[in-house]
Amino acid sequence: MAEKLRYAGIPLIVLTALWFLWAMVNYTEGGLSMPLDDSFIYFSFARNTASGHILNWTPGGGFSSAATSLPWVFVLAVGHAVGFRGELLVLWAFIVGVGCAIAAFFAVMDLVRRSIGEGYEPWMGLLGGALFALSGFLAWGYLSGMEIPLMSVAMLASLIYLHRYLAGEERARIPLAVWGSLLGVMRPEGLIVALLLVALLVIRPLLRGDRKLARRRLAWTGIAAPAVAAAAASWALTGHLASAAMLQKSYFYEPAMTLYMFVDLTTKNIAKVATGLYSGSYFYDGSPLLLTPLFFLGLLPAMVREAGKRSPGLAWLSAAWFFVGSLSTMMSLSSDDHHFRYQIPFYHLYLVWSVVGVAALVRAARQRWKLAAWPVAAYFLLVTALSLPRWADTYGMNCKNIFDQQIRMARIIDRILPEGALVGINDAGAIPYFSNRRTFDVLGLATEGQSRWFRSGPGSLYERFENLERDERPGWFAIYPEWFFFKEIFTQKIASVRLSDNTICGADEKALYRADWSVLGRGESPGHPHAAGKRLVDSVDVADLDSEQAHGFDGPPATLYAAYPYPEPGQAVPKTQEEAEKLMWGPVVADGGRRISYVSTSQEMSVDLAGGKDVVIVGRVECRDLPATLHVTVDGERVGEWRLSPSPGFAEPESLLPAGYIEDGENRIGLEYEGEASASVFHLWFYQ
């Protein structure tokens, strides 16, 4: 009976998948979509790879490190090659997800059996398989079009073959090596998972005093070879080891990050996952109530037994993967995004060891209480099954949102923009895939080198546009208006789509703008004449990362954007907003800058000057709230100052730096803030 019930999981999974497919088609009124825009990033990589542009995000755009799961790209590319193209690639991803779910169903039951060991009964494995098959949370992940199903199967298979290998089954060595190698390139956290596997294989003989075996097992570090090769290729082609997604999302690449902020944000992410996914407080994202205590009841005694035998195995590796591996996903901006999708591969371990906990509870009870296991199991199954309708509905709604917003905007672009158009976007999935236009990812998730400009703030993002060559600069933008503040650039709205029932998109409205770049370059020179009789010898464009790097700039990490009309020649800068509105001002000047205040008190940079000559330093600054003083320093010594009065616009103070303070060559010029509010510095010019 138990053997027959095992195979009932296959039609159960297929029926669940059909239910979710019906929800998709029902909500989209016949369209095919994934519940995430990110899924279509992989679709673009797959289409281009199958067409010969291997790992290109856009055809002919060159290598992009944005594909965080290389195996998933090639699995999807196979689908494209055999005819699943355009919308049909959604069905291919769906089919692969169902196949992986069936494989994972049997793997979960097998792991329950191996984890329990002596005293295992068939109903225990069936409980684990049923909890997996009835989980709407897992069904959403496996059918999301992301790499989740492949990553999950790789982890489960690695655990199974590890157990077989440690039990002396030598033929398990090759499958373990294959699955372990795949883990390293499946996801960024997959490499951590693979290295933890290697660590267990090496530490296990060391605990028994067998150093010779431990040295031989160092050869298992070879499973990291694919990940090392991928990182080396990325370094050679892009200049960085991390994927573009990590550069865009990870806290490790956040310019403004401090140790306190890192610990604070990561701790908050841990709390979100713990309370939102594992608390059992509600059925939508949470697990069944009381499952978490049973997880620890199953895992901790097994770890103690393995430690007592000096033979760490499934329990210790599961714990390392669950706590260390999943922790690595919480050190980013998106740790709780999309229904905790980054936690799904680790959730299988939670299910397996929770069932082990149920089994331990039953064994600990007296024989006459053994039948109590059935109501406990029925409770968990009922609560899990009750989540299915809501998750199917959520899946359908998510697909509808992506279909109605991202795919619809892509088709508008395909219909009305010229074939050679370059479109700036803030979501890198469906629009590039369906619009058949070149795209520029403003956030830097897919466009190489863009993420550092975006993450440095709006000021640096504006400077990035200013630095781009004309043919690299988007002529149109399909963006969320509320995410961006460049009203001087986004002056002409061509089209927009708005959701009234948003459940997954970044904002309700997606708008298409024609870009007006006439404002670019106006801020390269001062708006007023300065330093009569002297020539410009150097300038520092604050917030321009290239200019700052060339000058060894050191200052506050965040940038800001501002744009004001400059007064006509001979016209004074107004002191009040009312006065400003009465004056006839000239063209708008936009610039990126950095704010300094009593918290971030200084900026400093290296400037190449001629010794023995006076220097006139001119700045473009903004002081809006309270009067402030900026002291100009040379090599840390104050030699001039700018007294600033609040005004609704840019001011251009200047100061003379006497020749006696200037050395021939590099000089460290700084600005130190004095006041009770803040001032912002946008541009600096040096005349001699």
Task: Tell which residue, 396, 412, 399, 405, has the closest CA to residue 426.
Answer: 405
Mean pLDDT of 102-110: 96
- List, for residues 389-439, the tens digit of each pLDDT value: 999 999 999 999 999 999 999 999 999 999 889 999 988 889 999 998 999
Distance (Å, whole) CA 654 – CA 531: 9
pTM score of the predicted model: 0.88
- As a whole number, mean pLDDT of residues 146-171 equals 94
Matching residue, tokens 């160092």: 218
Least confident of 279-293, 316-330, 424-438, 493-507: 279-293
Task: Decide if 627 contacts 676 (C-beta within 8 A).
Answer: no
Element (H, E) at 631: strand 628-634
Q: Give the residue-averaged pLDDT of 79-94.
A: 95
Cβ neighbours of residue 159 closer than 8 Å, sequence gap 6 or more:
111, 314, 317, 318
Give the tokens for residue 528. 């007023």
130 within 8 A of 46, measured Cβ to Cβ: no
Query: Residues of the chain with pLDDT > 70: what percent?
Result: 93
Give a three-class secondary structure readout of 387-435: HHHHHHHHHHHHHHHHHHHHHHHHHHHHHHCCCCCEEEECCCCHHHHHH
Percentage of the chain exceeding pLDDT 90: 48
pLDDT of res. 282 = 47
β-bridge partners, 440: 424
State residue 376's pLDDT score: 72
CA distance 198 to 184: 11
Q: Is the dihedral of CA 182, 186, 191, 194 positive or negative?
A: negative
Q: Are 588 and 488 in contact (CB under 8 A)?
A: yes
Q: Is 592 exposed, middle or buried (0-12, 13-18, 19+ CB in 10 A)?
A: buried
Contact yes or no for 34/397 (Cβ under 8 A): no
Please give the full DSSP string across 142-203, using - where no structure is assigned: HTSSSSHHHHHHHHHHHHHHHHHHHTT-GGGHHHHHHHHHHHHHH-HHHHHHHHHHHHHHHH
Contacts with 373 (C-beta within 8 Å, 6 or more apart), sequence order = 123, 358, 361, 362
Average pLDDT, the chain: 87
Selected residue with higher pLDDT from 175 and 334: 175
* pLDDT of res. 288: 66
| pLDDT reported for residue 552 | 93
| Residue 311: both structure tokens together | 């033979």
Render the burial of 421-455: b for 16+ CB within 10 Å, e for the rest: bbbbbbbbbbbbbbbebbbbbbbbbbbbebbbbbb
Residue at token pair 């370094």: 235
* Structure tokens that stand for 510 in this block: 């997606």
Q: Reply yes or no on whether the pLDDT at 461 is more than 60.
A: yes
- What are the tens digits of pLDDT across the range 126-146? 889 999 999 899 999 999 999
Residue type, 486: F
pLDDT of 534 over the 50 cut: yes
DSSP letters, 101-127, are: HHHHHHHHHHHHHHHH-TT--HHHHHH
Q: What is the mean pLDDT of residues 211-224?
A: 90
The three-point CA angle 452-57-224 to 5° equals 75
Query: In residues, how long is the chain?
Result: 688
For residues 466 and 74, the answer to whether their CB atoms sit within 8 Å is no
Are the C-beta atoms of residues 550 and 531 closer than 8 Å to each other?
no
**Could you tell me the strand order of the sheet in which 492-498 lies?**
438-441, 422-425, 476-479, 509-514, 492-498
Q: By the 8 A CB rule, do 333 and 346 touch?
A: no
- Pull the structure tokens for residue 115: 């984890």
Using the predicted structure, report yes or no on whether residue 638 has a pLDDT greater than 60.
yes
With residue 477 as reference, give the H or E element that holds it. Answer: strand 476-479
Q: What is the pLDDT of residue 281?
A: 52
For 141, the token pair is 């992940």
Q: How many alpha carbons lie under 13 Å from residue 578 in its C-beta half-sphere?
A: 0
Q: How far apart are the first and last CA of the chain?
A: 92
Return the SS3 of 255: coil
pLDDT band at 347; cut points 50, 70, 90:
very high
Secondary structure of 9-52 as H, E, C letters: HHHHHHHHHHHHHHHHHHHHCCCCCCCCCCHHHHHHHHHHHHCC
pLDDT > 80? residue 580? no
The region that residue 118 occupies, defined by phi over 0 for left and psi between -120 and 50 for alpha, beta otherwise, is beta
Written as one letter, the residue type at 264 is D
How far apart are the C-alpha atoms of 286 and 272, rounded to whole Å? 11
pLDDT over 90 at 44, yes or no: yes
b/e code 64-85 from CB counts within 10 Å (16+ = b): bbbbbbbbbbbbbbebbeeebe
106-115, 283-292, 646-655: range with highest mean pLDDT? 106-115
> What distance lies between CA 71 and its chain's CA centroid?
19
The residue behind tokens 């939102």 is: 276
User: Do 640 and 632 form a contact (C-beta atoms < 8 A)?
Assistant: yes
Higher pLDDT among residues 371 and 442, named by residue:
442
Q: How confident is the model at residue 574 (pLDDT cuts 50, 70, 90)?
A: low
Q: Tell me which DSSP letter residue 368 carries.
A: G
201-226 b/e (C-beta count within 10 Å ≥ 16 → b): bbebbeeeeeeeebeebeebeebbeb
Which is it for the CA torsion 661, 620, 514, 482, positive or negative? positive
- Tell me the C-alpha distance between 387 and 201, whole Å: 38
pLDDT in the model for residue 593: 93
Residue type, 323: F
Taking the C-alpha atoms of residue 238 and residue 243, their distance in angstroms, rounded to an integer, is 10
Q: Which residues pair with 53 in a beta bridge?
A: none
What does the H/E/C string look like for 503-571?
CCCCCCEEEEEECCCCCCCHHHCCCCCCCCCCCEEEEEECCCHHHHHHCCCECCCCCEEEEEEEECCCC
Q: Parallel, antiparallel, or unpaired: how do β-strands 476-479 and 422-425 relate? A: parallel
Determine the 3-state secondary structure of 585 from DSSP.
strand
What distances in angstroms separate CA 562 from CA 529, 588, 642, one per listed residue? 21, 10, 20
